[in-house]
Amino acid sequence: MSDRSVFFVSDGTGITAETMGNSILAQFAIKPRHVRRPFIDTVDKAHQVVREINATGQREGKRPIVFTTLANDDVLAILMGCEAKVFDVIKTFVEPLEEEFNMKSNHRVGRFSDPSVDQEYNDRIDAINFALEHDDGQSSRSLDLADVVLVGVSRCGKTPTSLYLAMQHGIKAANVPLIPEDFDRGFLPSMLKPYKKKCFGLTIDPDRLSHIRNERRPGSKYAALENCRHEVAQAEAMMRREGIAWLSSTHKSIEEIATTILRDIRPDRLVY
Amino acid sequence: MSDRSVFFVSDGTGITAETMGNSILAQFAIKPRHVRRPFIDTVDKAHQVVREINATGQREGKRPIVFTTLANDDVLAILMGCEAKVFDVIKTFVEPLEEEFNMKSNHRVGRFSDPSVDQEYNDRIDAINFALEHDDGQSSRSLDLADVVLVGVSRCGKTPTSLYLAMQHGIKAANVPLIPEDFDRGFLPSMLKPYKKKCFGLTIDPDRLSHIRNERRPGSKYAALENCRHEVAQAEAMMRREGIAWLSSTHKSIEEIATTILRDIRPDRLVY
């Protein structure tokens, strides 16, 4: 069923409206058409969106769904006049909170503070740069500054997880591959020794790993299922021996892996 | 005012509850203590969270705020018994949608589908790898596959923007720096010539750029305000001459820059 449209209307990026709307819509076995309309910050733009929503509903024969985070009352009033089922995040959640806090809100939702003066924002950028500089074992320099060092075989998900931890949580994550030479020697890469307590392992189902590696280097020994089985078994044995906590990335999204890592190694970052 | 706690309680990662809660709380001039409690998927875990919430409220003398996306009715029922102001995303948004769609929801919120079989998820991972391989002009190979090529002076925000476009939107974004040699020659880097239509420029206030570069290479010519002014002026002149659309990253977050780029160069990706 793709015969219905969902609009995300915001005076900012629309990320909040969209994230929320998508997580709600995921509850339903439908595939609506998604339309994002960011930066709707004037009465004129609101009229334009309303015309688009109404025309869409008429074309599809079903009224559209709208998720909105518009904070400006004049702009919102125009949107509310559209022929759609509108979910207004502000009215639903902000007004009860005004009562709870006994305080007026400043009618600003989903806006980011000015990054040029925001320490938390700058920490995130620093963390992204750190992840890039310490991707794939590139550098052991300032590894003491890492919040976590991800280890695991090539292509098990270390890099996207590092970047996600940096971008979303401002966590400095380095990542170091476990490679056949390490298994032959039977020791962790030497750069990891001083930082074993910060290490967190990722592992992956060998079939899935073989599939991923085959997309990169088709038919190679690197991608062969037999080799993937060997590397994964060796990596898991090494992590077990060294007492490094690990999880399998096979059926987990980056977001879920990152949340688990945060909870396990930096529970203090879950309270912030 | 940090004398009140906000809990984000979820049976998944809690990302949905937290994103929504934070955008709502940003409306208020308060700094509550944030506590994320992910993976609450059993009655036992729910009881544990309720005890924690109640103890927190007693200690702080004000009832906590709770944002939740719990989908399991038994687990939710226990949470609802806590002494707090609870915002239940499911009840608020999902039940009205059940009526609108005339369809029961599957009571699953904020969960991700299994990434090992999800094409959209794999596209995101491919896009992250593409961004890394094409970071900082490293490679002109397969630049024809790029959705967008970001250009601008060193440290104007190209790399985090590329990674964000990849991670959040599955957009393949390359980035190529504009460097003093390009300004001396007066031409765009030659690798960009075939892809000028895909180029999008970032610029930045020279004072801010000098500040950022000074953190990296203190006291260098690279970081000197005079040099930053020169590079930014040259880069903007070049982009104007070549007809490349650009925006200033100075007071914009990565999210805002990415949303603007998407809207301007790939409006089709805003309907997906």
- Report the CATH number at residue B209: 3.40.50
> B122 and B81 in one domain?
no
Whole-angstrom CA distances from A258 to A199, A202, A206, B27, B52 are 14, 11, 21, 27, 24
Chain position carrying tokens 């449209």: A5
> A245 and A143 in one domain?
yes
At B38, is the secondary structure helix, strand, or coil? coil
Determine contact: A259 vs chain B, CB below 8 A. Answer: yes
The whole domain housing A245 covers 118-270
Cβ-contact B134, B175 below 8 angstroms: yes
> B122 and B88 in one domain?
no
pLDDT at res. B25 = 81
Determine contact: A254 vs chain B, CB below 8 A. Answer: yes
Alpha helices (H) along chain A: 15-25, 43-60, 73-80, 89, 95-101, 119-133, 158-169, 180-185, 206-216, 225-242, 254-265
- Cβ distance of A27 and B106 shorter than 8 Å: yes
Task: Tell how strand B85-88 and strand B173-177 pair up.
Answer: unpaired
> A226 and A159 in one domain?
yes
CA-to-CA distance for A65 and B270, rounded, in angstroms?
16
Which of B73, B101, B129 finishes a domain?
B101
Chain position carrying tokens 């939107």: B169
Determine contact: A55 vs chain B, CB below 8 A. Answer: no
Residue B10: closest CA among A28, A255, A8: A255
Q: Name the residue among B16, B103, B125 with its Cβ closest to that of A28.
A: B103
> How near does any CA of chain B get to the CA of A221, in Å?
21
Determine contact: B15 vs chain A, CB below 8 A. Answer: yes
> A259 and A223 in one domain?
yes
pLDDT above 50: residue A152: yes
Task: Tell how strand A246-248 and strand A173-177 pair up.
Answer: unpaired
Name chain B contacts of A97, Cβ cutoff 8 Å. Answer: 24-25, 27-28, 65, 85
Per-residue pLDDT tens over the stretch B152-189: 999 999 999 999 999 888 899 999 999 999 999 999 99
Which of A76, A101, A126 finishes a domain?
A101
> A133 and A236 in one domain?
yes
> A259 and A126 in one domain?
yes
> A256 and A167 in one domain?
yes
Name chain A contacts of B106, Cβ cutoff 8 Å. Answer: 27-29
Which of A43, A72, A101 finishes a domain?
A101
The answer as to whether A106 is a domain residue is no
Cβ-contact A184, A209 below 8 angstroms: no
CA-to-CA distance for A118 and A130, rounded, in angstroms?
18
Number of other residues whose CB lies within 10 A of the CB of residue B245: 12
User: Dihedral through CA B237, CA B239, CA B240, CA B241, nearest 10?
Assistant: 80
Non-local (6+) Cβ contacts of B139 within 8 A are B133
At A9, is the secondary structure helix, strand, or coil? strand
The answer as to whether B108 is a domain residue is no
Chain position carrying tokens 């189902």: A205
Q: Which tokens hold the place of A179? A: 């490679």
Total of domains in chain B:
2
The answer as to whether B264 is a domain residue is yes
CA-to-CA distance for B115 and B135, rounded, in angstroms?
25
CA-to-CA distance for A159 and A174, rounded, in angstroms?
9
Scanning every residue of chain A, which has its alpha carbon at the shortest distance from the alpha carbon of B164?
A167
The answer as to whether B109 is a domain residue is no
The answer as to whether B107 is a domain residue is no
pLDDT in tens, chain B (272 residues): 457 899 999 988 887 788 778 777 877 877 788 898 999 999 999 999 999 999 999 999 999 999 998 888 899 999 999 999 999 887 888 888 888 888 877 655 444 456 666 777 788 889 999 999 999 999 888 899 999 999 999 999 999 999 999 988 889 999 999 999 999 999 999 999 999 999 999 999 999 999 999 988 999 999 999 999 999 999 999 999 999 999 999 988 888 888 888 877 665 554 44
- Cβ distance of B167 and A254 shorter than 8 Å: yes
> B227 and B187 in one domain?
yes
| Bridge partner residues of B36 (DSSP) | B8
> B61 and B19 in one domain?
yes
Per-residue pLDDT tens over the stretch A31-89: 788 898 999 999 999 999 999 999 999 999 999 999 998 888 899 999 999 999 999 88
The answer as to whether A107 is a domain residue is no
Determine contact: A186 vs chain B, CB below 8 A. Answer: no
Q: Name the residue among A29, A38, A251 with its Cβ closest to that of B263.
A: A38
Determine contact: A194 vs chain B, CB below 8 A. Answer: no
> B84 and B14 in one domain?
yes
> B247 and B205 in one domain?
yes
Determine contact: B159 vs chain A, CB below 8 A. Answer: yes
